[in-house]
Amino acid sequence: MTTTIPVGGEGFAAYEVVVGRGLLKEAGARVAALKPTRAFIVSDETVAAIHGETVRGALEGAGLTTGVVTVPAGEASKSFEQLEAVLDRLLAEGLDRKSLVVALGGGVVGDLAGLAAALFMRGVDFVQVPTTLLAQVDSSVGGKTAIDTPRGKNLIGAFHQPRLVLADIEALATLPVRQVRSGWAEVLKHGLICDAAFFDWLGGEGKAGAEGDPDALERAVIRSVEIKSQIVGEDEKEAGRRALLNLGHTFGHALEAELGFGDALTHGEAVALGCAMAFRFSARQGLCAATDADKAEAGIRAASLPTRLADVDQVFSADALIGRMAGDKKAEGGRLTLILARAIGEVFTDKNVDAEAVRAFLIEEGAAA
Ligand SMILES: NC(=O)c1ccc[n+]([C@@H]2O[C@H](COP(=O)([O-])OP(=O)(O)OC[C@H]3O[C@@H](n4cnc5c(N)ncnc54)[C@H](O)[C@@H]3O)[C@@H](O)[C@H]2O)c1
Ligand SMILES: O=C(O)C(=O)C[C@@H](O)[C@H](O)[C@H](O)COP(=O)(O)O
Ligand SMILES: [Zn+2]
């Protein structure tokens, strides 16, 4: 059985996110229905070794001419260097404007392949085949594509919506538990943003999902995609409400950048820590009850995710973090923008956050003055 969630809105064509089991094997007919001249797979070395042949076989079985280009696994591949390598390979393979890119992998592959698809011949179609929980619940939906630079996270990118998303729950069976929990962080984020009952379910009946239980994972993927689809449908290019999906990311991206996008924190772990910080900062500013900040932290911690700077083996400088936050894409005119909380399930954008208050908060949290 599959669940289909439509994504679309004013100014961008609707597409479907299909959630189910066995979708990698069925990818051929669904991709062929888009009528590309070719369907070229972009993946990472780890995912290609596990799932590459299944998807390639499915595409060829549906009569499509295909091929595969891989990048090394990990965040470091969201780089100019790998973007150039992928684009060069697509050119060398002789792809044309009606060719289609299949992004097979986690958020790194999706963001990189999506940006390559946006740039290749000024834009070709692409299909997301997310193989991490994080990519199924978040990065494959909504059309944000990007690479990092040492100056910051996702600073170079484009909005380029996929034509189709195939989220195969069975693909998650091979995912290491650390990566399952990383994806769970973005799931928890969706509850914290706008669905308190979902947040409660994630910490109660649904909590086996954080350890990889497929039934709980499937429900978590479906509810997350529904939430993201609804927000993106209202505001494709983040003119307003979509910024709420950035809860925890202003802190989280600053931490990731300070850590050089290395292995110390995955994106999901950084978001988990960032969400806990956003709730504590909100409570400190009198915007939400301290009990809500405590509950948010407990829910995140229950999934074995970090909630405190002390959980990371590095001393952060408060000023360096603020510098990173000021360079965030949401910041305008040098003022800090944060997604803050009134309660669990009720967040808002503050475009004029007092930098001195953030500095004092970061020092309280353990950052160096
Ligand atoms: N575009 C968006 O809207 C959006 C949203 C959230 C996150 N992101 C981005 O996504 C990235 C993080 O994505 P991620 O957490 O998926 O990381 P990732 O893509 O690096 O994948 C994590 C690891 O899991 C491995 N892997 C993937 N699928 C596997 C499988 N089925 N079995 C075994 N191993 C598998 C990968 O090789 C990698 O080593 C970050 O760069 C983040 O900025 C983008
Ligand atoms: O889709 C969105 O919008 C999000 O903010 C989802 C985030 O989880 C994701 O990490 C996104 O890539 C962050 O966006 P950015 O604009 O801060 O780079
Ligand atoms: Zn994210």
Q: Write out pLDDT tens, residues 186-234.
A: 999 999 999 999 999 999 999 999 999 999 999 999 999 999 999 999 9
Q: 320 falls in which pLDDT band (50, 70, 90)?
A: very high
For residue 306, the CA-to-ligand 2 centroid distance in Å is: 19
188 CA → ligand 1 middle, Å: 17
Provide the annotated active-site residues.
122, 144, 186, 228, 238, 242, 246, 249, 253, 267
What is the pLDDT at residue 20? 98
pLDDT in tens, 324-344: 999 999 999 889 999 999 999
Q: What are the angstrom distances between the C-alpha of 27 and each of 18, 21, 65, 66, 167?
A: 11, 11, 14, 13, 10
Q: Average per-residue pLDDT in the chain?
A: 97
Q: Note whether 190 and 227 are within 8 A (CB).
A: yes
Contact (CB, 8 A) for 220 and 307: no
The reply, when asked if residue 108 is annotated as ligand binding, is yes
Nearest ligand 2 atom to alpha carbon 142: 1
Same domain, 108 and 207: no
Q: Which of 124, 191, 201, 194 is nearest to 158 (CA)?
A: 124
Whole-structure pTM over 0.95, yes or no?
A: yes
Which protein residues touch ligand 1 with a CB less than 6 Å away? 44, 46-47, 50, 73-75, 78, 105-109, 111, 131-132, 134-135, 138-139, 142, 144, 154, 171, 174-175, 179, 182, 266-268
- 79: pLDDT strictly greater than 90: yes
Give the domain range for residue 239.
177-365
Rounded to an integer, what distance in angstroms lies between the CA atom of residue 265 and that of residue 227? 25
Above 90 in pLDDT, residue 9? no
Amino acid, res. 261: F
Same domain for 206 and 280? Answer: yes
The confidence score (pLDDT) of residue 130 equals 99
Is the confidence at residue 48, as pLDDT, over 90? yes
Single out the residue in 125, 147, 172 at which a domain terminates. 172
The verdict on the CB of residue 142 being under 6 Å from ligand 2 is: yes
The pLDDT, as a whole number, for residue 153 is: 95
366 is in an annotated binding site: no
Q: Are residues 263 and 343 in the same domain?
A: yes
Q: What is the DSSP string of 173-228?
A: GGS-HHHHHHHHHHHHHHHHHH-HHHHHHHHTTTGGGGGT-HHHHHHHHHHHHHHH
Q: Are residues 159 and 187 in the same domain?
A: no
**Do residues 40 and 69 both lie within one domain?**
yes
How far apart, in whole angstroms, are the C-alpha atoms of residue 223 and residue 260?
32
The model's pLDDT over 173-188, given as tens digits with 9 standing for 90+, comes to 999 999 999 999 999 9
Q: Is 144 annotated as a binding residue?
A: yes
Does 267 carry a binding-site annotation?
A: yes
User: What is the residue with the minimal CA distance to atom 13 of ligand 2?
Assistant: 246
Is 111 annotated among the ligand-binding residues?
A: yes
pLDDT number for residue 334: 86
Whether 274 lines ligand 2, by a CB cut-off of 6 Å, is no
pLDDT, position 195: 98
* Residue 167 scores a pLDDT above 90: yes
* Cα maximum dimension of the chain: 61
- Specify the DSSP class assigned to residue 50: I
The residue to mutate among 193, 237, 267, having the most atoms of ligand 1 within 8 angstroms of its beta carbon, is: 267
pLDDT digits (tens, 9 = 90+) for 277-297: 999 999 999 999 999 999 999
Domain stops at, among 152, 172, 192? 172
Nearest CA to ligand 2 atom 4: 245
Q: Which residues fall within 8 angstroms of residue 76, CB to CB, at 6 or more apart?
A: 261
Residue 256 has pLDDT above 90, yes or no: yes
Average pLDDT estimate for 253-262: 96
Interval between CA 187 and ligand 3 midpoint (Å): 10
- CB of 75 closer than 6 A to ligand 2? no
Same domain, 220 and 321: yes
- C-beta separation of 115 from 160 below 8 A: yes
Residue with structure tokens 């260097």?
81
Percent with pLDDT over 90 in the chain: 98
Q: Token digits for 294?
A: 């405590």
In terms of domains, do 27 and 143 share one? yes
For residue 10, how many other CB atoms are within 10 A of its CB? 8
Specify the long-range contacts of residues 17-20, CB closer than 8 Å, at least 24 apart.
Answer: 17/140, 17/141, 17/165, 17/167, 17/225, 17/229, 18/164, 18/165, 18/166, 18/167, 19/136, 19/167, 19/169, 19/218, 19/221, 19/222, 19/225, 20/167, 20/168, 20/169
Distance CA 191, CA 347 (A): 11
Final residue in a domain of this structure, among 172, 191, 215: 172
